[in-house]
Chain A
Amino acid sequence: MNRQRIRLKVNGQAYDTLCSENATLLTLLREDLGLTGTKEGCGAGECGACTVILNGRPVNSCMVLALECQDSEVRTIEGETVNGGLSDLQKAFIEHNALQCGFCTPGMIMSARALLDKNPSPTREDICEALEGNLCRCTGYEPIIAAVLSAAGGEVNE
């Protein structure tokens, strides 16, 4: 199998490694870089479990080839950790019971993070649009929307 060199930054850390030509960004993260926080649900663009932020935009990492990300900046759920603690969004998700099985959560949080980066005070509608591509089979979405709204409002603190 042909392997090519790939250089990229994930959560601020530079990586320089080899990856197979048909690897997706998702497999690069999970299998080569050991960042297993990002999940694979459908592998076909339907569920959003694999959402990461690529050069500032949330994308389905199962549909991006790793080699397309040469010299790119990627952010994953692992990058949410702030000095060993949880981020505002992570705390808000816990506070609002916005997860049950948790499989959709890393993707949900990355979509929400990309939204908050762009728009620090989103409306409910903005949140629904930003999370349109992230499916959750457990929560019924309301707690997730509440969590993002509260993280945006800064209500959920230590």
Chain B
Amino acid sequence: MPAFLQPSSLSEAWSALKENEDVRFLAGGTDLIVLMRQGAVKCGAVMDVKKIPELSVFGFKDGALEIGGAVTCAQILEAHETEGPYGILKQAAVTLANSLLRNRATLAGNLCNASPGGDMIPASLVLGASVVAASPRGEREIPLKDFFLGVKKHVLARDEIVLRVVFPKIQGGGVYLKKRRIRGHDLAQVGVAGFYDGGLRFALGAVGPTPVLVDFGRIPEAELLERKAEIVETVAAEAKPITDIRASKEYRLAMTRLFAGRILDALSSCSRPLAVEEAAQ
């Protein structure tokens, strides 16, 4: 029977970590509580981190957008901060589960769950996000592209708490497209994010053990469409999908190509951004 801990400061959290063994952090609980109830996760204590003030930040600091560990997908959808270039976070958040889940599910929880199909991951990767984590030993900032080690595995130690996710100052725009079987409660069969700000980046979800970032460096806008076939193939070459209950690997690969092409079309014409649901048909 795990103990329940709810520190209201980081120093309280560090002393609770000393007094308890095998502690798991709890944000929205939409991954953790399901796993605990299924018996798939057993732990000595659950620490609700949402009352730690550092985790509630949501705003700009020195031009960079900071989203605290306790900020939910619903808050991301409601906020002005996540408009403009950061709007891709909204595009991703609206595809995550359903409106009930989004009232609990956090961005940080999605990253820390480290599922290959986590919807917030590709969008965060193309924005150049990094994760700020604290432990009794101090704080460190980890670029998100170096964060994932494998399916459900990341670089954080068991006593490191994600305080916030930081998105550098950025211009330009991005698109996230997700393919799933049904609306409401299905993980991605494929998730593709693309971003153009003079440089072109793609990130892929659900087509490998970890999400992947494909960075093309700077490409003049006029070349985006000229080089479409080559760019789409380069993106697809980074996809290493498997067949599982959600889709076959062939289907995943085909959808990765299709989405990469559609995203490129949307990014190169300053036309209206592609609606997520429309492309997901």
Q: Which residues of A line the B interface, CB within 8 A?
A: 1-2, 4, 20-22, 24, 43-46, 48, 51, 57-60, 62-65, 67-68, 70, 111, 129-130, 132-135
Q: Is the CB of A45 within 8 A of B34?
A: yes
5 A-B residue pairs with Cβ-Cβ distance under 8 Å, sorted by A, are A21-B2, A46-B185, A60-B100, A68-B48, A133-B185
Known: A59-B100, A130-B99, A133-B97. A65 touches B37 (CB 8 A): no
Interface centre among A4, A51, A63 (most CB of B within 10 A): A63
Is B101 positioned at the interface, with any CB of A under 8 Å from its CB? yes
**Interface 0/1 of B1-14, CB less than 8 Å to A:** 11110100000000
Q: Is the CB of A48 within 8 A of B34?
A: no
Q: Is the CB of A58 within 8 A of B100?
A: yes
The number of chain B residues touching the other chain, given as a range, is 20 to 34
B residues 16-59 touching A (CB-CB < 8 Å): 26, 29-30, 33-34, 36-38, 46, 48, 50
Q: Is the CB of B4 within 8 A of A21?
A: yes
* Beyond A59-B100, A59-B103, A129-B99, 14 additional pairs, beta carbon < 8 A: A45-B100, A60-B100, A60-B104, A62-B33, A63-B30, A63-B33, A63-B34, A64-B29, A65-B29, A68-B50, A111-B99, A111-B100, A132-B99, A133-B185
Distance (whole angstroms) from the CB of A148 to the closest CB of chain B:
14
* Bound Cα distance from A57 to B103, whole angstroms: 7
Give the chain B neighbours of A51 by CB distance below 8 A: 100
Give the chain B neighbours of A22 by CB distance below 8 A: 1-2, 4, 36, 46
Give the chain A neighbours of B113 by CB distance below 8 A: none
The 7 closest A-B pairs by CB, nearest first: A133-B98, A133-B100, A132-B98, A21-B4, A57-B103, A67-B4, A63-B33
Give the chain A neighbours of B38 by CB distance below 8 A: 44
Q: Is the CB of A65 within 8 A of B74?
A: no
* Bound Cα distance from A12 to B33, whole angstroms: 27
Give the nearest-CB partner of A107 in chain B: B100
* Bound Cα distance from A1 to B74, whole angstroms: 35
* Bound Cα distance from A20 to B1, whole angstroms: 9
* Bound Cα distance from A60 to B105, whole angstroms: 11
* Bound Cα distance from A62 to B6, whole angstroms: 19
Give the chain B neighbours of A59 by CB distance below 8 A: 100, 103-104
* Bound Cα distance from A1 to B2, whole angstroms: 10
Interface centre among B48, B183, B185 (most CB of A within 10 A): B185
Give the chain A neighbours of B26 by CB distance below 8 A: 65, 68
Is B184 positioned at the interface, with any CB of A under 8 Å from its CB? yes
Q: Is the CB of B99 within 8 A of A45?
A: no
Q: Is the CB of A45 within 8 A of B1?
A: no
**Interface 0/1 of B178-220, CB less than 8 Å to A:** 0000011100000000000000000000000000000000000
Give the nearest-CB partner of B186 in chain A: A46
Distance (whole angstroms) from the CB of A74 to the closest CB of chain B:
13
